[in-house]
Amino acid sequence: NCFAWAVGVTDRAIRPQTWDALATAYAEVGYYNVPLTGPPANDDAEVYARDTDVGRPLHAHRVTDAANGTCESKMGDDFRIQHHRDMLQCTHLNGPTFEYGVVQARYRYDATRLRQWQEGEVTTSSGRKLKRKDAAWTSSGRPISKDKKSTTKSGRVVKKGGK
């Protein structure tokens, strides 16, 4: 899907319901939020949200040629498209609304921060401490042990046995 594709993940979907869940999923693969000021860099992931629902990430693209504004997106599990950076931020003909909203966040790969992040700890809902590299996150952003992780057909992470 678009969120996974934007950060180079091709073996699973990333389906964030909140910005915090997206930040956690992206940190797992080394992408961290950077300011939107200034131009993007190659391989940055930019994430859209609608003005009417800024609390929920809607779409993401990967910047493939920052100098020319070229990006790539995935449309669900199907098509991969190449487009200009501003194309998905254009308004509808019938009014001042946007199909995908506008870019609200930018994420950039940082290997040093990834190593530090992986060595950090998280606490599960049962109070168990885990190294982040040994944890998986549910769609609601809760950490669970990777050995208790299961994935639904739609790619949603759930705890094995429903507990």
Q: Let me know: does 137 contact 143? Beta carbons within 8 Å.
A: yes
The radius of gyration of the chain's CA atoms, rounded to the nearest angstrom, is 17
Q: Which residues does residue 143 pair with via DSSP β-bridges, in sequence order?
A: 137
Q: Is the pLDDT of residue 101 over 90?
A: no
Q: Are strands 70-74 and 80-84 parallel, antiparallel or unpaired?
A: antiparallel
Q: What is residue 65's predicted lDDT score, i.e. its pLDDT?
A: 97
**DSSP three-state, residue 86:** coil
Per-residue model confidence as pLDDT tens digits over 115-147: 888 888 988 888 989 988 888 877 677 888 888
- CA dist 48 and 32 (Å) reads 16
| pLDDT band at 41; cut points 50, 70, 90 | very high
User: What is the full DSSP assignment across the chain?
Assistant: -HHHHHTT--SS----SSHHHHHHHHHHTTEEEE-SSS---TT-EEEEE-GGGTTS--EEEEEEETTTTEEEEE-TTS-EEEEETTGGGPBPTTSS-BSS-EEEEEEEE-HHHHHHHHHSEEE-TTS-EEEGGGEEE-TTS-EEEGGGEEE-TT--EEEGGG-
Q: Let me know: does 61 contact 83? Beta carbons within 8 Å.
A: yes
Instruction: Pick the range with the lowest mean pLDDT from 38-42, 59-63, 131-135.
Output: 131-135
| pLDDT band at 163; cut points 50, 70, 90 | very low
The number of beta carbons lying within 10 Å of the beta carbon of residue 157 is: 21
